[in-house]
Amino acid sequence: MTAAEIRETIIRTVLENGGHMASSLGAVELSIALAKVFDPMADRIVWDVGHQSYAWKLLTGRADDFGTLRRLGGLSGFPNPAESKADAAVAGHAGVALSVAQGLAFARDGMGRRENVVAVIGDGAMANGTCLEALDNCAVVGAKVIVVLNDNRMSISKSTGALSRFLGRVIAGVRYNRIKAAAEAAGHRMGFTFMRGAYHRAESFIKGIFLGSAFFERCGLRYIGPVDGHDPQALEAALSVAKRDKRSVLVHVVTVKGRGYAPAEADPVKWHGVPPRRDPAAPPQSGRAWSDVAGETLCDLAARDPRVCAITAAMREGTGLSAFAGKFPDRFHDVGIAEGHMVAFAAGLAAGGMRPFVAVYSTFLQRAIDQVMHDVCIARLPVVFCIDRAGAVGEDGATHQGIYDFAMLKCIPNLTIVQPADAADLRAAMEEAMLRDGPTAIRYPRGRAPGKIAPLSRPGARLAIWTPGDWLAKANEVAGKIGATVVHARSLKPFDAGLLAEQRASGMKIVSIENGCVAGGFGESIGADMKFGWPDEFVPHGPVESLERKFGLDADAIAAAILKKYPAGA
């Protein structure tokens, strides 16, 4: 497939199915060059986050199935070794590719094999703590790896931090790039194929003089670049040199996010993730996004209290903090893809007298559980975790389902965990958390917050359904089918033990319904007689409604299962 054909296929499919548009369009020529220089089925290509991997899927035997992207039972939106041998590792969270690649390379050498190992890493992920630890370990491990640094000056939001500024200086070095351009032109005129080695040796010398780019060299990586990531000849030449070199090599590739699709080039943040095309027959959506409600509330709190500050890890837009960043720039902190640092930084702010709110997707908070425990909760610091995308997120699949945060957090002492039911309830929960003398986690799902909703109360019922706020409407629907009463478990920890004991004493049966994993979930906390939630397996990609039907978590299936065990109902 040509680059134009690949881009046309990606654009058409993502507009229909949803997915990661801008980053995948920016990596088309890079994917083509990787597939030409390396053997996708024998060499190990490790993508750091699959946002950029759609072209790779199309080039490695999955073109005929690409229309199933992100659909239930179809292709994953991320690399997955279970899907193709061309995918060396699962790649949903940023920053781990170099560590995985080092392990693969060391195993290769130890087992006497000869395959190439390549890690493709974005500039935002390069500053991740795990990636920096792997860089520090490159020279120690010794096994050769090839690192392709795909530099588009973006993660999801614009890249931040010292490393991003350093890479920007490398790219923008006027004197160096003038000499580099002249050297490339001479190389092409003189027969580039046999000049590659001499050209890149000269290039390294020039960079050392003009750019001080010894950072990667000191980590044990020979540096090649910057290379135009949309020039096929330049890409193939640089990768071929890296392949032949006996040392570990970093190839610095400069790309444009959204390349070839004008709307995505103009606004790569907006076109980072595209929702699936909406069914025109579906009823119009109402209400504001949970993320927007959280962001608006945080702006109001900050206007009233100068101690309030907001922190995110490269997710300003996704977590609803754009307005806060504009109104309170001195109290807004984007730490980049560095969740562990984000939480420890928040602990320091809280210990210093501030009131930090950490806005983070559930799937990414997993990366900082140690800091939540060690730095925040032991010291009982007033950090508020606004846990966005808590619950099943659908098409992003197993690496992104936000169904594990409660099970991970509930065992940590000193932490209050709440789950509001609607927009007004979220605002109230954030206000309460700011006044609490200790840490709070507030969970809320993807999508839009409903209007005011109350639990269905049925005096005299013999069965009580306990549920966190996001599935309160579903619990009400189930209760209406079987004659039960509903308890909104707004406080998940501590839960209302008095009410539970009272219901137990009256002979009521307790059912839990939660948008989280059953193993270690809220149902276990309260000792429910029946527990409904996501099973003890990784939940695949697909529309949330389809996943709920697949796992028996739609209202009809839950009601039928309850009546099967308790035929008399409530």
User: Distance between CA 495 and CA 490 in Å, rounded?
Assistant: 8
Indicate if 474 and 428 belong to the same structural domain. Answer: no
pLDDT of residue 184: 52
pLDDT of residue 521: 96
Q: Which helix (H) or strand (E) holds 20?
A: strand 19-20
Q: Per-residue pLDDT tens for 322-359? A: 999 999 999 999 999 999 999 999 999 999 999 999 99
pLDDT of residue 194: 46
Catalytic annotation, pick one of 367, 389, 427, 446: 367
Name the pTM for this structure. 0.86
Q: Is residue 118, in this structure, part of any structural domain at all?
A: yes
Helix (H, G, I), strand (E, B) or coil at 121: strand
Q: Is residue 279, in this structure, part of any structural domain at all?
A: no
- Of 112-116, 149-153, 166-170, 326-330, the least confident: 166-170
Could you tell me if 347 and 311 are in contact, meaning their C-beta atoms sit under 8 angstroms apart?
no
Indicate if 251 and 115 belong to the same structural domain. Answer: yes
Indicate if 154 and 108 belong to the same structural domain. Answer: yes
pLDDT of residue 210: 43
Q: Given 415, 443, 471, which residue is the final one in a domain?
A: 443
Average pLDDT over residues 532-547: 95
Q: Is residue 278, in this structure, part of any structural domain at all?
A: no
Name beta bridge partners: 391. 402
Q: Per-residue pLDDT tens for 89-137? A: 888 888 899 999 999 999 999 999 999 999 999 888 888 888 888 888 8
Indicate if 349 and 244 belong to the same structural domain. Answer: no
Q: Given 443, 478, 497, which residue is the final one in a domain?
A: 443
Q: Would you tell me the crossing angle of helices 174-189 and 162-172 to the nearest 10 degrees?
A: 50
Catalytic annotation, pick one of 339, 395, 514, 548: 339
Q: Are strands 355-361 and 308-312 parallel, antiparallel or unpaired?
A: parallel
Indicate if 99 and 206 belong to the same structural domain. Answer: yes
Indicate if 86 and 122 belong to the same structural domain. Answer: yes
Q: Given 409, 443, 477, which residue is the final one in a domain?
A: 443
Q: Indicate the length of the chain as a whole number.
A: 570
Could you tell me if 457 and 486 are in contact, meaning their C-beta atoms sit under 8 angstroms apart?
yes
Indicate if 416 and 474 belong to the same structural domain. Answer: no
Q: Is residue 506, in this structure, part of any structural domain at all?
A: yes
**What domain range includes position 534?**
463-565
User: Distance between CA 196 and CA 220 in Å, rounded?
Assistant: 21
Residue 545 annotated in active site? no
Q: Is the peptide bond before 226 cis (omega within 30 degrees of 0)?
A: yes
Residue with tokens 């200086």: 169
Q: Is residue 19, in this structure, part of any structural domain at all?
A: no
Overall number of domains in the chain:
3
Q: Is residue 195, in this structure, part of any structural domain at all?
A: yes
User: Distance between CA 371 and CA 539 in Å, rounded?
Assistant: 26
The answer on pLDDT for 172 being more than 90 is: no
Check residue 486 and report its DSSP letter. E
Q: Is residue 299, in this structure, part of any structural domain at all?
A: yes
Residue with tokens 């980072």: 272
351, with CB counted inside 10 A (0-12, 13-18, 19+), is: middle
Residue 257 annotated in active site? yes
Q: Is residue 83, in this structure, part of any structural domain at all?
A: yes
Q: Which residues of 425-445 are buried (b: 16+ CB within 10 A; e: fewer)?
A: bbbebbeebbeeebbbbbbbb
Indicate if 253 and 316 belong to the same structural domain. Answer: no
Q: Per-residue pLDDT tens for 394-430? A: 999 999 999 999 999 999 999 999 999 999 999 999 9
Indicate if 424 and 487 belong to the same structural domain. Answer: no
The domain that holds 471 is classified in CATH as 3.40.50.920
Indicate if 427 and 473 belong to the same structural domain. Answer: no
The answer on pLDDT for 166 being more than 80 is: no
The domain that holds 96 is classified in CATH as 3.40.50.970
How far, CA to CA in Å, does 353 sit from each of 44, 300, 375, 381, 383?
49, 19, 15, 10, 11
Indicate if 100 and 133 belong to the same structural domain. Answer: yes
Could you tell me if 290 and 446 are in contact, meaning their C-beta atoms sit under 8 angstroms apart?
yes
Could you tell me if 523 and 53 are in contact, meaning their C-beta atoms sit under 8 angstroms apart?
no
- Of 123-127, 275-279, 528-532, the least confident: 275-279
Indicate if 473 and 429 belong to the same structural domain. Answer: no
